[in-house]
Homo-oligomer: A and B are copies of this chain.
Amino acid sequence: MGAKVLVVEDEEAISQLLAYNLGKEGFSVSISADGDEAMIAVDEQKPDLVLMDWMLPNVSGIELCRRLRTGNETRDIPVIMLTARGEEEDRVRGLDVGADDYVTKPFSMSELVARMRAVLRRTAPALAGDVATFADIVLDRQLCRVRRAQRDVHLGPTEFRLLDVLMQRPGRVFSREQLLDRVWGQDVYVEIRTVDVHIGRLRKAINKRGDRDPIRTVRSSGYALDETYSG
């Protein structure tokens, strides 16, 4: 499973948005609405990263950050601040109290995720989500490489993203529509059957040697990565 992320944000709309999108990226997300809740959540869950709003009720973001930095257990948890405007002043104060990075609203998900990965890469490379593992398959997003059983496997960009998506939730069945959305993008029109073809190519590439096929076809539903499958 991906890194545990604690989102500290009082605006429901934003926290839900984050939960949803970060979830899709493979992070395991929990939410606190204010600093007090957050401190409890930190103790309980020991998140790998904290994402917090600069403006918070009760305890301000700055204060929360300071408390994290003084706790023995929490000292090393990286923090990313969400600020309303790119005011240099805030930035400086934010970095001052120990934030590892900051992102200004409005931000794009991909930018946020990129920064999260960047921070995690420094503090907990294994959790940065740069590499995903399933059975003997390893996918490295940084290096854009896939290996199976210690052997390099060459994939085209599309097959790479396809495998990436499948590996984000092993076992889960993705419909062709979902795969089109996630691999090709939301507003791209491609034939639905094209998915089959790329699944086929992915299979061929990944099972070169007589390896067991990890991709399960779920008739009338879609595809999934799967460990065991016995009729």
Chain A interface residues toward B at CB < 8 A: 12-13, 16-17, 19-20, 23, 69, 95-96, 98, 100, 122, 142-144, 151-152, 154, 156-157, 171-173, 218-221, 224, 228-231
Contacts and interface: CB of A to CB of B under 8 A. Distances in A.
Could you say which of A16, A156, A157, A231 has the most chain B C-beta atoms within 10 Å of its C-beta?
A16
Contacts of A230: 151-152, 154
A171 B157 contact: no
B16 A173 contact: no
A142 B173 contact: yes
Contacts of A220: 157
16 contacts: A12-B98, A13-B96, A13-B98, A17-B95, A142-B171, A142-B173, A144-B173, A144-B218, A144-B224, A151-B230, A152-B228, A152-B229, A152-B230, A152-B231, A154-B229, A157-B219
Contacts of A229: 152, 154
A16 B100 contact: yes
Contact of A172 (B13, B143, B228): B143
Given A12-B98, A229-B152, A221 B144 contact: yes
Could you say which of A12, A69, A172, A231 has the most chain B C-beta atoms within 10 Å of its C-beta?
A12
B171 A143 contact: yes
Given A12-B69, A19-B122, A144-B173, 8 more contacts: A12-B98, A13-B95, A20-B122, A142-B173, A152-B229, A152-B230, A156-B219, A157-B221
